[in-house]
Structure 1
Amino acid sequence: MDRHRIPRTKELEFGGVLGTAVLIFLMPATVFCLLLTCRTEQASLFNLPLPLPSLRSLWNPQDFAVVLAWIGLQAVLSVLPMGKLTEGIALRDKSRLQYRINGSHAMGLSALLVGAGLAAGLRLSYIYDHFLQLAFSASLVAFGLSVLLYLKALLAPETALAPGGNSGNPIYDFFMGHELNPRLGGFDLKFFCELRPGLLGWALINMAMLVKETELRGSPSLAMILVNAFQLLYVVDAFWHEEAVLTTMDITHDGFGFMLAFGDLAWVPFLYSLQAYFLVTHPQQLSLPMAGGIILLNGMGYSIFRSANSQKNTFRRNPANPNVAGLRTIPTATGRRLLVSGWWGFVRHPNYLGDLIMAFAWSLPCGLTHILPYFYILYFTALLVHREARDERQCLRKYGLAWQEYCRRVPYRIFPYLY
């Protein structure tokens, strides 16, 4: 027997075959439900605007071309010989894939191209005016890519399959991703989609909402400026630390299927920008003291998020680094050590705690009269609690008694003294 062969997936997640089948339809439905509701005067999740738009009204060849052009541009920028080449973690067969780390360069070039377009008369508020059509086109691209990924995986060797998407059931494997690292030559499809089109698209959409608000009211509101600034900081941080993505569960464990493809190409850019989209039709007045408090809250969240992640990544790269050499650790049977002091001795997932604090700060500029702009933090809390549970199961299998000792010494998972 090939010792590198990926065993069948036996523990099915997300409710198994039935749950993933529902999610394939529920995820797009959620996107369009929220976007449609956001534009109504009530913006109430309990009053879905009727009648619903027809598929014909959502399909626009020009908007489909815009989405493809954006993805194509980011694909071209991702393969340019700039930045550095780095290796991912060791695969099951001990090989390591190479990745081009040039996200910051691509972000800068994208900004220059958008700026040149604006100088040439590009009307960025077009994104707001065609938001539903663009979201529909992105969803079609995600569905199409997911089908191609599944068909490609059927031709891949068994050693290339994902440990979490190898159940043998086509619906489940289509959703979870059947192949771990699908590539076209040296172009890694999952790594590219993880950040490039979606996160940069999110920042571009936010800017388009700011431009639209300026067209409607003469100047952008303080609330809109804060939302843009906070979320742009998050995007810039992601690209500045792009190499750290190579150690995340998405890259190391999850296959590339509908869950990640739709999440990267449609869910992230069109729902993470929900606060900015909301503010265009539901303007909010922020006092300077309130704005100052929100800025401090976001700063605290970002500080926890960045400090915790930097501490973890520094320790993984070089445990002898003076910045982490003094931290207490627990030895494991794998030869690796678990941090049990610093941020990782405070709670088991301090980066998630910082993420959630930031998410709350992003929503507060939208006021307290509607729950809709708080969808992000509600969804993100559920996502991170579920993700944390997946992390726990994997760490227990990997580290055994050492992980049990870590959990004994660090009892709280995300929220100190609560959870």
Structure 2
Amino acid sequence: MAPQGPRASLEFGGPLGAAALMLLLPATMFHLLLVVRSGPACLLDLPPYLPRPEALWSPRALLLWLAWLGLQVAFYLLPARKMAEGQELKDKSRLRYPINGFQALVLTALLVGLGVLAGLPLGALTEMLLPLAFVATLTVFIFSLLLYLKALIAPASALAPGGNSGNPIYDFFLGRELNPRICSFDFKYFCELRPGLIGWVLINLALLVQEAELRGSPSLAMWLVNGFQLLYEAVLTTMDITHDGFGFMLAFGDLAWVPFTYSLQAQFLLYHPQPLELPTASVICLMNAVGFYVFRAANSQKNTFRKNPSDPSVADLETIPTATGRQLLVSGWWGLVRHPNYLGDLIMALAWSLPCGVSHLLPYFYLLYFTALLVHREARDEQQCLQKYGLAWHEYCRRVPYRIVPYIY
């Protein structure tokens, strides 16, 4: 695929926007990590102090981070009982992915559990979040540069639709290669579903352990946040896997942003304990269950229809034919709104924040950020579907006017 050229529309504000985001995203992450520990914990305040260089750089944190990555690589390479095929690529091939993420999570839990029994101070991890975030960010910049250099010699069929503009800053940020691999090791699939997500769970658990050490037992709010976020899982057929190249944007999101900012609610509860009564907790649990059900049911319906439109669970759904030969669902979950899975995501995001009370905006940063992310992602998805399905997509939008939230948006 040839470079897009200057006339092609570039996302994220082009090279200038990409450069700004590469500075703004790490700065926001460090701002949150500093502010959540402060007394007021105000999202819009300046950090209470600027960290000293020795507070950011720690050889111990670097060794811990590299050991964590190495452990997850080893678990990724373990034999998988099941393999899944990704979506069809430009050359009509399909990549195969090992489905052993749950196996990796269980093995990680066993190792951590054995370590705790042997005297591993898991709660001490909470004091290392700042230097760990720093070495993770440093790793991402180096890793992204290697990915960019690797993509320079990749065949045209391996390039992503949007990451080969010819501008090095923009391509470094967005990612030139769609699925960078060495042999069967897929870097994007590994980073999207392994070290960051499992690291997020581990950080939450460390915060729970630290709270128990400080106050005698974990609070109900901390239990809810840990339980809700442990339940949440990513799915293989997201746009990140199937469309976006793998560069700084996804690498930073996977390896740094997810574990250190998605754990913000648990961090907040450690430093700012919140009372939570059982009736309120029950309502929040119900809300999370509704969000999770919508999220999983919508994705399951879509995936079932893709694999077998004659399946009894989807055979009666109404569809719109397209010029590509595919059918667009226009009933069921996908007749309610155009992105019902995003609706479930947002309901869960609200449920994760509510255990932190309503006196501070900081725990709701995830909800605000995730809303902006999904609205932006939905707009990108709309453009792709319009190009792919043309008049059929116009008809679908007419039949299903709401994008994410019924009767609102």
TM-score band (shorter)?
over 0.9
Q: Which of 363, 368, 373 is equivalent to 2:353?
A: 363
Q: Which residue of 2 aligns with 1:267?
A: 257
Task: Write the letter of the residue equivalent to 2:349.
Answer: A
1:273-292 equivalence runs, <5 A: 273-292=263-282
Deviations 1:337-359 (A, max 9, x none): 00000000000000100100100
Q: Which of 22, 34, 37 is equivalent to 1:36?
A: 34
1:17-96 equivalence runs, <5 A: 17-96=15-94
Report which stretch shifted further, 385-394 or 6-15.
6-15
Q: Which residue of 2 aligns with 1:380?
A: 370
Q: Which of 312, 319, 322 is equivalent to 1:322?
A: 312
1:191-340 equivalence runs, <5 A: 191-235=189-233, 238=234, 244-245=235-236, 247-340=237-330
Distance in 2 of aligned mates of 1:49 and 1:339: 48
Q: Is 1:7–1:163's contact at 8 Å kept on the other side of the alignment?
A: no
TM-score (norm 1): 0.95
The reply on whether 1:350 has 2:348 as its aligned counterpart is: no
Distance in 1 of aligned mates of 2:247 and 2:99: 23
Structure 1 residues 6 and 126 mapped into 2: Cα distance closer, same or farther (>3 Å)? farther
Secondary structure at the residue paired with 1:130?
A: helix
Secondary structure at the residue paired with 1:364?
A: helix
Q: Is 1:34–1:45's contact at 8 Å kept on the other side of the alignment?
A: yes
Give the drift of 1:50: 4.1
Q: Is 1:301–1:353's contact at 8 Å kept on the other side of the alignment?
A: yes
Distance in 2 of aligned mates of 1:96 and 1:358: 32
Secondary structure at the residue paired with 1:181?
A: coil
Q: Which of 4, 16, 31 is equivalent to 1:8?
A: 4
Secondary structure at the residue paired with 2:83?
A: strand
Q: Which residue of 1 aligns with 2:169?
A: 171
Q: Which residue of 2 aligns with 1:188?
A: 186
Q: Is 1:39–1:281's contact at 8 Å kept on the other side of the alignment?
A: yes
Q: Which residue of 2 aligns with 1:241?
A: none
Secondary structure at the residue paired with 1:125?
A: helix
The reply on whether 1:400 has 2:390 as its aligned counterpart is: yes
Distance in 1 of aligned mates of 2:61 and 2:268: 21
Deviations 1:249-291 (A, max 9, x none): 1112110000000000000000000000000010001011111
Aligned length: 407
Q: Is 2:335–2:400's contact at 8 Å kept on the other side of the alignment?
A: yes
Deviations 1:54-93 (A, max 9, x none): 3332000111111111111111111111231222222111
Q: Which residue of 1 aligns with 2:110?
A: 112
Q: Is 2:34–2:48's contact at 8 Å kept on the other side of the alignment?
A: no
Deviations 1:285-307 (A, max 9, x none): 10111111111111111111111
TM-score (norm 2): 0.98
Q: Is 2:126–2:210's contact at 8 Å kept on the other side of the alignment?
A: yes
Give the drift of 1:360: 0.4
Give the drift of 1:46: 3.1
Q: Which residue of 1 aligns with 2:148?
A: 150
Distance in 1 of aligned mates of 2:3 and 2:384: 15
Task: Write the letter of the residue equivalent to 2:320.
Answer: I
Ranges in structure 1 where 5+ consecutive residues have no aligned partner: 239-243
Deviations 1:145-178 (A, max 9, x none): 1111111111212221111101000000000001
Give the drift of 1:6: 5.5
